[in-house]
Amino acid sequence: MSTTKWRSIIALSTAAILSGGVLAGCSSSSSPAKASNPLAPAKASAGTVVIGSNSFAESTLLADIYGQALAAKGFTVKYQLNIGARPVTYQQISTGAITLMPEYNGALLDYLDTSVVKKAAEPQTSTAQVDSEVSADLPSTLEILDPASAQDNDTLTLTKAEAAALNLGPGASIADFVKALGTQKITIGAAPEYQTKIDGLLGIEQDYGLNPAQVTFKPLDEGGSLTEAALTNGSVQAGDLFTTDTTIAKGSLLTLTDPKNIFGLQNVVPLVYKSGLSATGVAALNAVSAKLDSATLLSLDNLNAGQGQDPATVAKTWLTSEGLI
């Protein structure tokens, strides 16, 4: 996700949550709002589907994809794009102010259930398992629809120079990296929470044996422009970029494979306010998700974020090519 994947969640004051003036995030350590907000926007009017997005390009692109598919079925679609971080978007969809949010199942589960003990005891082993746990944690007014096979996951990604120094190439795993690193030190850059997450540096240390004493951690952002720049200019040797980030290919960076699956799953999945969408709408969204795989998402991201094409145009072209509109 090139200069666009602003998924980091910063500490949010009550005023910031109400105003929505925060950076976007696909993952969060904050807890879901428990009570309705008297200042929250009113529910979407009957017959209108309101689609939200976070403040990064892929979220906006997915909003366009799902929105245009609904419009083709005769729905009146309105957009509220670049809303902000998950605490804001989740609150809005919980009240029915928005009808649909493109989500990521693993990140949504992290938000709904922040218990590190539970995550460690119940690793994410399948999309069905993650979706089942998400569904169990959602209120009765919300549901997730069919997931896409497309994923956008955290990684441990090396600079071109570091990969060369360690003699690692495409297909190399985190285990290969730890072995090749030996006792050398390394600087890793990512969002602050990456340092203490099971699906982050803590998991790399516990499951792959990386010695914490070898690591200098540099707090940056979660797969955003700061981490992209640091990996590109070499101010860190490794960092957390997301699997659909076009910077990886552009910068000849090396994303390490994760055979122990510490990063879990991040399938794209529509989160919807149940009463705001009919069975026809659900079917239209499920049809889109059935066609969306990781290679396609990366290609669409490259057209949008990588080449600067308008997301609505990218969405329309793809939907047309797949016979979805």
Q: Is residue 316 assigned to a domain?
A: yes
Asked if residue 47 and residue 138 are part of one domain, the reply reads yes
Residue 9 forms part of a structural domain: no
User: In this structure, is residue 41 part of a structural domain?
Assistant: yes
- Alpha carbons within 13 A on the beta-carbon side of 115: 9
Name the domain boundary from 209, 229, 255. 255
Domain of 238 in residue numbering reads as 157-255
Q: Are residues 31 and 132 in the same domain?
A: yes
How would you class 1 by CB atoms within 10 Å of its CB: exposed for 0-12, middle for 13-18, buried for 19 or more? buried
Whats the size of the chain, residue-wise?
A: 325
Determine the Cα–Cα distance for residues 151 and 168; give it in Å rounded to an integer.
24
102 occurs within a structural domain: yes
142 and 275, same domain (yes or no): yes
Count of structural domains, the chain: 2
CA angle 87, 89, 92 (to 5 degrees): 105
- Residues 102 and 239 occupy one common structural domain: no
Query: With the CA atoms of 23, 27, 28 and 29 taken in that order, what torsion angle do they form, in degrees rounded to the nearest 10?
Result: -150
The answer as to whether 218 is a domain residue is: yes
Provide the strand spans (E) within 53-128.
Answer: 76-80, 100-104
In a domain, 299, yes or no: yes
Q: Determine the Cα–Cα distance for residues 98 and 117; give it in Å rounded to an integer.
A: 32
Residue 100 in contact with residue 52, Cβ under 8 Å?
Answer: yes
Q: Which of 283, 313, 309, 315 is nearest to 296 (CA)?
A: 315
80 sits in the region (left: phi over 0; alpha: psi -120 to 50; else beta) called: beta
- For residue 164, give the CATH number of its domain: 3.40.190.120
Record the pTM. 0.74
Residues 191 and 123 grouped into a single domain: no
What is the pLDDT tens value at each position of the chain, 325 positions in all? 433 333 333 223 333 333 333 333 343 333 344 334 444 455 555 579 999 998 888 999 999 999 999 999 999 999 999 998 788 999 999 999 999 999 999 889 988 986 655 555 566 778 999 999 999 999 999 999 999 999 999 999 999 999 999 999 999 999 999 999 999 999 999 988 889 888 899 999 999 999 999 999 999 987 778 999 999 999 999 999 989 888 898 899 999 999 998 898 999 999 999 999 999 999 999 999 999 999 899 999 999 988 899 999 999 999 999 999 9
Q: Are residues 235 and 133 in the same domain?
A: no
Same domain, 56 and 118: yes
Identify whether 1 is part of a domain. no
Same domain, yes or no: 33 and 128: yes
What SS3 state is found at 230? helix
**Shared domain check, 141 and 202:** no
Residues 315, 207 share a domain: no
The answer to the question of residue 3 being in a domain is no
